């Protein structure tokens, strides 16, 4: 009897089973042809495998929290308009934009585009990115290669100075550039 189950009388491989596990020496033909696998590589055989590739990523997207768009107060709108005017003056044509290379950080509202999320097209999140301002016009600001609609912008902050002056200094502190 092997283990706890009795072996049937007409079992075809009874003699092979009774021989036990084969023992090979280092110089055996079988071992030369099929060397034993190192234990470090054997662990790879038993590593977990992702049957549903990308499933964990999709689940993490569902955990993302979306919010309503904040309305700016009149004071915030005026300050944002002032900052956009400064940026427009520094980048009103491509020559000035290349010469000044104004580096800013912009926070804007981005709608959810995940079709499988209940917030799709209704709610969004605020995204902050920094880069060089390439263009400012009445509809959008171009930050490096990204177009950001002016209606979606929450905040613009300076990350450097222009000619040694704070970029968005209050008018009474700012010297003529």
pLDDT value for 132:
92
Mean pLDDT of 159-172: 69
Mean pLDDT of 116-127: 89
- Would you place residue 164 in the very low, low, confident or very high pLDDT band (cuts 50, 70, 90)? low
Q: Which of 144, 111, 110 is nearest to 130 (CA)?
A: 144
**The model scores a pTM over 0.85:** no
Which of 34-48, 129-143, 145-159 has the lowest average pLDDT?
A: 34-48
Q: Name the percent of the chain lying above pLDDT 70.
A: 88
Mean pLDDT of 63-92: 91
* Residue 50 confidence (pLDDT) above 80: no
pLDDT value for 5:
73
- Rounded Cα distance between 30 and 21, Å, is 14
Cα dihedral 88→92→98→102 (10° resolution): -10
Mean pLDDT of 78-99: 90
Report the 3 state secondary structure along the chain.
CECCECCCCCCCCHHHHHHCCCCCCCCCHHHHHCCCCCHHHHHHHCCCCCCCCCHHHHHHHHCCCCECCCCCCHHHHHHHHHHHHHHHHHCCCHHHHHHHCCEEEEEEEEECCCCCCCCCCCCEEEEEEEEEEEEECCCEEEECCEEEEHHHEEEEEECCEECCEECCCCCCCCCCC
């Amino acid at each position: 009897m092997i283990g706890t189950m009795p072996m049937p009388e007409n079992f075809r491989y009874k003699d092979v089973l009774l021989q036990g596990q084969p023992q090979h020496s280092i110089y055996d033909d079988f071992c030369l042809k099929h060397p034993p696998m190192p234990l470090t590589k054997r662990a790879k055989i038993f590593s977990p495998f992702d049957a549903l590739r990308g499933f964990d990523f999709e689940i993490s997207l569902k955990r993302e929290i979306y919010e309503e768009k904040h309305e700016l107060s009149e004071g915030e709108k005026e300050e944002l308009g002032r900052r956009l005017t400064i940026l427009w003056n520094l980048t009103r044509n491509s020559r000035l934009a290349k010469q000044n290379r104004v580096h800013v950080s912009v926070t804007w509202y981005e709608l959810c585009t995940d079709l499988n999320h209940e917030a799709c097209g209704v709610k969004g999140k605020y995204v902050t990115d920094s880069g060089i301002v390439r263009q400012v016009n009445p509809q959008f600001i171009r930050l490096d290669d990204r177009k950001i609609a002016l209606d979606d912008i929450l905040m613009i902050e300076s990350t450097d100075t222009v000619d040694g002056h704070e970029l968005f200094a209050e008018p009474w502190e700012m010297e003529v550039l």
